[in-house]
A and B are shown apart, each in its own frame.
Chain A
Amino acid sequence: MYEWMVTARHYEERLQEEYLEGKQPAFDISAGPIPGELHLAAGHEAAAAGVCAHLRDDDVVTATHRPHHVAIAKGVDLKRMTAEIFGRRTGLCKGKGGHMHLFDPDVNFACSGIIAEGCPPAVGAAMAAKKRNTDGVAVSFVGEGAIDQGGFLESLNLAAVHDLPVVFVIEDNDWAISMPKERVTDVSDGSQRAAGFDMPGVRIDYDDAVAVFEAAEEAVMRARAGNGPSLVEVQVHRRMGHFMGDAEAYRPEDDVERHQRLDSVERLADDLRSSDVSDEELAAIRERAHERVEEAIAWAKDQPEPDPAEVTEDVFVDGGQRPRAADAPAGGDD
């Protein structure tokens, strides 16, 4: 878990640097090697690590517009994910998807940019697992801002009424872009939504990866055993703006400060130290993670851009063509 978390944190620090390249001095969202929006997840790592620690490659995960930490914990090919973010031909989606739309069928990971949109497909994946009598589970990650969305609530109900093996995970970072939780809901504990559907709901009030691990274990095992869905909410922290370039004028200083101070990565390192993991071991993990990140970024930047002629491939269209999916390019992680 620590390795995933430091990988994710370092990855996002490096993406941030790469993203800002070419966007200076005045921030221009369409300039530089990574244009478009970029939503970083620094401060969210514990939720992804604690939950994904219980998952296998054949378990399905749907993530949100803020997907990288979950992707890393789920084992998505880091090199090809990075190439995708840089818009390269050998990216996970041949440069067509981008950072909010990553698909890695090898580890059953997908994400999308519309709020709560990953919930119904997770229910569908769970339905498939149940119909096939496997013990596979599906996990859908959402932000606390997403739990007022119809797609989320309808999915809870559908999963509950069919006893489907789904775990809904809410990453509560207190903010939906500029809207603090209290302005859009009268219920601060999102896990209470579970009660309305007669499924277990737990909330972990701090982003302690170990606590998340324990809560998620129960939820995932319950799903695997065929006992239906549950809801797990984790308090996480948004250490940065909603997206890169968000000046956060709406956000009180002390809130930014509090979110930066409470650091799940350091907390887990402390926990590990107190359970006799040496500083050297932790440093070695960090070093490995950093190397992997640097390698992925260097590889990605070296990849070719897609040919404009590819634009009409992969979709049914009059006069277009939908070739069979090409094999994954050589040189990815696996």
Chain B
Amino acid sequence: MAQAATERELTMSRAMVEAVASEMRDGDEVFVMGEDVADYGGIFDSTQGLLAEFGRDRVMDVPISETAFIGAAVGAAQQGMRPIAELMFVDFFGVCMDQIYNQMAKNTYMSGGAVNVPMVLTTAVGGTYNDAAQHSQTLYGTFAHLPGMKVVVPSTAYDAKGLMHSAIRDDDPVVYMFHKRLMGLGWMPAPEGPKTPVPEEAYTIPFGEADVKREGSDATVVTLGLHVHRALEAAETLAEEGVEAEVVDLRTLVPMDTETVVESVRKTGRLVVVDEDYRSFGLTGEVVTRVAERALDDLEAVRRLAVPDVPIPYARPLEEAVNPDTGAIAEAVRETVE
């Protein structure tokens, strides 16, 4: 039975929703609000089917007023509710960032620990379909940079479910960033990989545990989200050339599992960090620094791939030029092993 259950494959969106539904069944204090989360089921299927089971009181469409409803989630969370609020695209954070980083993220600290904000902010990230500068950003670094929020970025259905259970049960605010291209949408084909077997029962994946998605001895590729799949593809190509790349999926940015990354680099001696976010002051610099602090002697070569500090352009050749692809990842690894 359990065996059969594990064979079941889900898309990443189904897996996310399954965790949310399970937590909603277990606790009345869990509820969902956001734009188009009820009848539409979320533009990226992140709340698909919840309205039918839980009704409008617990799956709330809200006005296009992110400041109000994300701030309201903070308020409700402080009263012991466990809201899940969806910011449709991470790019829209500009209209409501104050509630996110001055309240959601800071209230626990400012109150000397007197106040908890057990909410989840879900949001879609990523490009690759030419939606241009205001709908294609990834912004991992922005949210990970500001203290007080845990930041989760699943790359597979299995991880998406376990991390969502953990996120909802966490007493701290969690930003749960899902990549559109991984959700398994009919209209945005996913790469091979995010659809995985997912157990029926609830399970949690602890934050701060990276997952080695592929083992290898020659170079370490550290990444997350969509680029886990691109890195795995690149690793296949490299394997044909006799280069074995290890692919480390961070899964959570805050907290970050530095240990797993450092261990891997100690083994391989080479580090490539791949990020769909902007290059400067971001994830790539952070990972490289952490490794340098702890394993400088083992580090033979470093490369980083990220968006070259330009807003995401619209035209296809331009977007392809800024978003690291499989070929670029393979090339960066080759450079480190030369």
**Chain A interface residues (CB < 8 Å from chain B):** 26-30, 35-37, 84, 87-88, 91, 93, 95-98, 100-101, 112-117, 145-146, 148-151, 176-179, 183-185, 245, 249-250, 305-308, 310-312, 315, 317-318, 320
Contacts and interface: CB of A to CB of B under 8 A. Distances in A.
Contacts of B135: 36-37, 100, 113
B133 to A, nearest CB: 6
B318 A306 contact: yes
Interface stretch (B184-192, B208-216, B244-252): B184-192
B61 A96 contact: no
Contacts of A310: 318
B25 interface: no
Interface string B266-286: 000000000000001000000
Contacts of B61: 178-179, 183-184
Given A36-B131, A98-B132, A101-B134, A318 B280 contact: yes
Contacts of A30: 128-130, 188
B95 A114 contact: yes
A85 to B, nearest CB: 9
8 contacts: A28-B187, A28-B188, A98-B314, A177-B36, A178-B61, A249-B39, A307-B317, A311-B308
B315 interface: yes
- Kindly list the 9 A-B residue pairs having the minimum CB-CB distance in the complex, ordered from nearest: A98-B314, A95-B315, A87-B315, A308-B321, A178-B40, A30-B129, A148-B63, A250-B39, A184-B63
Nearest to B43: A177
B109 interface: no
A30 B128 CA distance: 7
B338 to A, nearest CB: 24
B103 interface: no
A114 B310 contact: no
Contacts of B309: 315, 317-318, 320
Interface string B224-263: 0000000000000000000000000000000000000000
B28 to A, nearest CB: 22
Contacts of A311: 308, 310, 313, 318, 321-322
B64 interface: yes
Contacts of B321: 308, 311
A148 B65 CA distance: 6
B314 A96 contact: yes
Interface residues of B, number: 43
Contact of B35 (A95, A114, A151, A176): A176
Interface string B175-207: 000000000001111000000000000000000
B326 to A, nearest CB: 16
Given A179-B61, A184-B63, A305-B317, A115 B134 contact: no
B113 interface: no
Given A30-B130, A84-B314, A176-B64, 20 more contacts: A28-B188, A30-B129, A30-B188, A98-B315, A113-B134, A148-B68, A149-B95, A176-B35, A178-B39, A178-B61, A250-B40, A305-B315, A307-B317, A308-B320, A308-B321, A311-B321, A311-B322, A312-B308, A317-B310, A320-B309
A149 B69 CA distance: 11
A310 B135 CA distance: 20
Nearest to B91: A114
B217 interface: no
A284 B104 CA distance: 60
A36 B129 CA distance: 5
Interface in B287-315: 308-311, 313-315
B316 A305 contact: yes
Given A145-B64, A146-B64, A148-B63, A317 B316 contact: no
B62 interface: yes
Most buried by B among A146, A179, A183: A179
A100 B134 contact: yes
B186 A95 contact: no
Interface string B50-90: 00000000000111110110000000000000000000000
A240 B35 CA distance: 19
Contacts of B188: 28-30
A267 B276 CA distance: 49
Nearest to B278: A317
B131 to A, nearest CB: 4
B310 A320 contact: yes
B239 to A, nearest CB: 28
Given A113-B135, A114-B92, A311-B313, A184 B62 contact: yes
Interface in B115-143: 128-135
Given A87-B130, A95-B318, A306-B317, A312 B310 contact: yes
Contact of A95 (B63, B94, B314): B314
Contact of A150 (B65, B92, B186): B65
B36 A95 contact: no
B94 A114 contact: yes
Contacts of A91: 315
